[in-house]
A and B are shown apart, each in its own frame.
Chain A
Amino acid sequence: DADVTQTPRNRITKTGKRIMLECSQTKGHDRMYWYRQDPGLGLRLIYYSFDVKDINKGEISDGYSVSRQAQAKFSLSLESAIPNQTALYFCATSDQQGTEAFFGQGTRLTVV
């Protein structure tokens, strides 16, 4: 089984709809992250969480919200999806020393 699992892998949704992307990890790490990948822009940090009670905004948090349901689970929500949120979304986890980030396989989201 993968260390970091994202669901769904692919999703097409309509403008204005609420959508949730889910992430779970089996690494036992406290730290979890949500990134967005766009061509030519690399990975940009949306939100990160250093433990269950610690949630922080990243570089591009507008239009997104997160929930850390447990150490192993970190979900990303788009309250009202818009077309420019079409992107590849990655969840990641790391230990407290930041020795390595482990990534999920990504969720390809298309907003039409």
Chain B
Amino acid sequence: GNSVTQMEGPVTLSEEAFLTINCTYTATGYPSLFWYVQYPGEGLQLLLKATKADDKGSNKGFEATYRKETTSFHLEKGSVQVSDSAVYFCALSPSGSGNQFYFGTGTSLTVIP
């Protein structure tokens, strides 16, 4: 089956700290992988994605690399800001026309000044 497991939160970091949020997946075939971000009171929005092995998605200083050998897609940022405080969701979309999206449980990040 298809599933996503991500690091439980909440995570609290000081401004300019390094961020890692772990995500591993189980999927048939070659899924696309995503990180979505949910700011307070808002819906989810795409942060970055990768569609094949060894691809690196990046946006707003965040990066994640599609690692097929370890079935992982860890999110990293070198220096977090207060404005990065949000809930982060790892997700996958299996290959093939019958795809849907599978989400992890979300990791809440709070960045303190």
CB < 8 Å: which of B32, B36, B46 contacts A98?
B32
Cβ-defined contact, B101 with A33, below 8 A: yes
A87-101 vs B, CB cutoff 8 Å, 1 = contact: the mask equals 000101010101111
Residues of B within 8 A of A40 (CB): 105
Q: Provide the B41-71 mask, 1 if CB < 8 A to any CB of A, else 0.
A: 1111110010100000000000000000000
Q: Chain A residues with Cβ under 8 A from B106's Cβ?
A: 42-43
Task: Establish whether residues B105 and A42, one from each chain, have CB atoms under 8 Å apart when the complex forms.
Answer: yes
Q: Are A33 and B42 closer than 8 Å at their CB atoms?
A: no
Tell me the A4-43 residues at the B interface (CB within 8 Å). 4, 33, 35, 40-43
A42 near B103: Cβ-Cβ < 8 Å:
yes
Tell me which residues across on chain A come within 8 A of B44, comparing CB atoms: 43, 90, 92, 101, 103
Question: Are B32 and A99 in contact, CB atoms less than 8 angstroms apart?
Answer: yes
Separation in Å of the A5 CB from the closest CB of chain B?
10
- Give A90 to B41 CA distance when docked, in angstroms: 12
- Assuming the contacts A98-B32, A99-B32, asked whether A41 and B105 have C-beta atoms less than 8 A apart, the reply is yes
Q: Which of B32, B45, B93, B103 contacts A43 (CB 8 A)?
A: B103
Chain B residues near A103: list those with CB within 8 A. Answer: 36, 43-45
A74 within 8 A of B: no
Evaluate whether A100 and B105 lie within 8 angstroms (CB atoms) in the complex, with A33-B100, A42-B89, A43-B89 already known: no
User: Which residues of A are found within 8 Å of B104, using beta-carbon distances?
Assistant: 42
Inter-subunit contact B100/A45 (CB<8 Å): yes
B34 at the interface (CB under 8 A from A): yes
Nearest A residue (CB) for B43: A103
Complex interface residues of chain A between 36 and 57 (CB less than 8 A to chain B): 40-43, 45, 48
For residue B99, CB closer than 8 A to chain A, the reply is: yes
Q: Quick check: is B28 within 8 A (CB to CB) of the other chain?
A: no
How far does the Cβ of A23 sit from chain B's closest Cβ, in whole Å?
Answer: 11
Check: B83 CB closer than 8 A to any chain A CB. no
Tell me whether A104 and B43 are in contact (CB under 8 A): yes
Once bound together, how far apart are the Cα atoms of A33 and B104, in whole Å?
16
6 CB-based A-B contacts, threshold 8 Å: A42-B103, A98-B99, A98-B100, A99-B49, A103-B36, A103-B43
